[in-house]
Amino acid sequence: MSLQIITDTDVVRQTIRRMAFSTGISVMMAATTLAMSLGSNPDALIRVGDVMLLSMCAATIIPAVISGILSYRSARLLQELTLTRSELSRISQTDQLTGLLNRRGFDEAAMLALRSAQQAGLPAVVFMADIDHFKSINDRFGHEFGDKALIEIAAVLREFSLARGGLVARHGGEEFAALMIGLSREQAEMYAEEIRRTCALREIRSGDICERMTISIGFTVTRGEIDLARVMRVADQALYMAKRQGRDRVVRADEMALAAA
């Protein structure tokens, strides 16, 4: 926005500017109207009826024009403010490195999705994925290559989301999250395996370095559960089991784990 109103002084100054502008327009329009109606002779005679008609026109048209001008300006400022707020909201919910939702954006959208799934009587699936041995990757090749790896894995998830639907996010560090509605356990496992295989085949290039890396995935299927934190804990437990079992694999947490969470 070109105009910044931050302090009380700014508010007063802007109000004075508006009043000065309104007064100036009123004087200018009134003078123009009088000159056109009465001419340049100050001693000229004019009928009372003409004076009344002129006064009514001036009292109606001048405020209407001024109000329209100021309303248009206010509407444009409000439009700029709305667009700015919308952009700030988008930025606050987006991971700047990968372009995916960040944890805040994912949690807000996922809670709404869980409520919708509950109302429709559909199952919901939460996936948690983690890049295997990511710390050693950073140590061996540097953080620039690590960032490239995050971007490439995020691209796989984005492509999957566009093809299959659902929410995907960088949940923090090298960890990613996804949520899909209306899947059976078999479908969820098939999709998780598809993501795992695609990531394993993805070549990650940065300068002279070319590597492939794997991910571990844990997921859980729930029906009627709207406590996102609880579901995420269970999916995270499944991810932990995938790591303990050797990584580069998919593990599902069953309903008993969800009930115990």
Average pLDDT for 28-39: 64
Q: Name the nearest CA neighbour of 194 among 166, 156, 162.
A: 156
Q: Name the nearest CA neighbour of 150 among 122, 168, 131, 132.
A: 131
Q: Name the nearest CA neighbour of 101 among 90, 114, 117.
A: 90
| CA–CA gap between residue 90 and residue 84 (Å, rounded) | 10
At residue 47, the pLDDT reads 60
85 confidence band (pLDDT: 50, 70, 90)? confident
pLDDT in tens, 228-247: 999 999 999 999 999 999 99
Name, of 26-30, 76-80, 189-193, the range with top average pLDDT. 189-193
Contact 64, 12 (CB under 8 A): no
Check pLDDT > 70 for residue 37.
no
Question: Does residue 240 come out as left (phi exceeding 0), alpha (psi in the -120 to 50 range) or beta?
Answer: alpha
Active site residues: 174
Check pLDDT > 90 for residue 181.
yes
Return the CATH number of the domain spanning residue range 103-260. Answer: 3.30.70.270
Tracing tokens 């000065």 back to the chain, one arrives at: 20
Residue ranges matching CATH 3.30.70.270 in the chain: 103-260
| CA–CA gap between residue 214 and residue 153 (Å, rounded) | 9
pLDDT in tens, 13-31: 767 777 676 667 666 766 6
Name, of 114-118, 125-129, 225-229, the range with top average pLDDT. 125-129
Mean predicted lDDT score pLDDT of the chain: 82
Number of Cβ within a 10 Å radius of residue 200: 14
Tracing tokens 């599902």 back to the chain, one arrives at: 252
At residue 45, the pLDDT reads 59
Strand pairing report for 250-253 and 215-223: parallel
| CA–CA gap between residue 216 and residue 195 (Å, rounded) | 10
% of the chain beyond a pLDDT of 90: 51
